[in-house]
Structure formats: structure tokens, C-alpha cells
Amino acid sequence: MLQLTTVLNAWGTPAFEETLKNLIVQMDAALLPLQQGLSQSSYTDGAGRSVMILSMADEAGFIRVKTGIFYTGIIPGCSCADDPTPMSEIAEHCEVQFDIDKITAETTITLLTD
């Protein structure tokens, strides 16, 4: 399980939001549900990531943070030799919830759907 110790240590300080946003941007895209959050494209490598904090709550035993993650999705072109269709990049967005255990910093990451 993923541990966000630096984020937990920043909880309650003015640096919390920036610490979490920076960590999400630098995090391996495979750890985030970005592929599952695609709505207009078919593939993503998580490039062009930026993060917006939507809400934060101090729950019993954990910190719950809802985020909006903006990133680039790709629509691949045809692989036919005579088709000049290039790959297209499309802006994508999904909402992701981070539940951070206040004692262990173990973090559950969940894609939020409508």
C-alpha cells in the first residue's frame, strides 16, 4: 500500500495543499486511476498532470482529500501505411479521492464517478 508520510506530516500546516499537489504530479502515473478516468480518449501516460484540491476533511482516523486531476489523453491514429491520421492529444479530467491514515500514512486512492 502507498504511504504518503510527507503529506501526513504536513497536515494542519499551510504547506499541506502544495505538498499533496506536488506529490501527485510527481507520482508514478500507474499509481493513479487516470486510465480508468478517461472520458474522451483511449490511452494516457499521465503526462501534463496538474492538480486542484476540491475538499479536505479530518475524519475519524484518516484525512480525506478530494482532488481534480487534469492530464493528457491520447487518441492514436490509424497504423495503416496510407493513412496520415496523426495521434491526437486531448485534455482529460477526473476526480480522485485520497484517504490517508493518520497513524500509518497508508493511503487509499479511489476514482470518484458520477
Q: Which residues pair with 48 in a beta bridge?
A: none
Nearest Cα neighbor of 23 from 9, 37, 39 is: 9
Whether the pTM exceeds 0.85: the reply is yes
| pLDDT in the model for residue 76 | 78
- Structural domain harbouring 26: 2-112
Strands of the chain, DSSP E? 2-3, 50-59, 62-75, 88-101, 106-112
**Grid cell of 84 as nine digits:** 496520415
- Cα(72)–Cα(78) distance, integer angstroms: 19
- pLDDT tens digit sequence for 52-94: 999 999 999 999 999 999 999 998 766 666 666 667 889 999 9
- Cα(73)–Cα(44) distance, integer angstroms: 5
Give the chain's domain count: 1
- pLDDT tens digit sequence for 27-52: 999 999 999 999 999 999 999 999 99
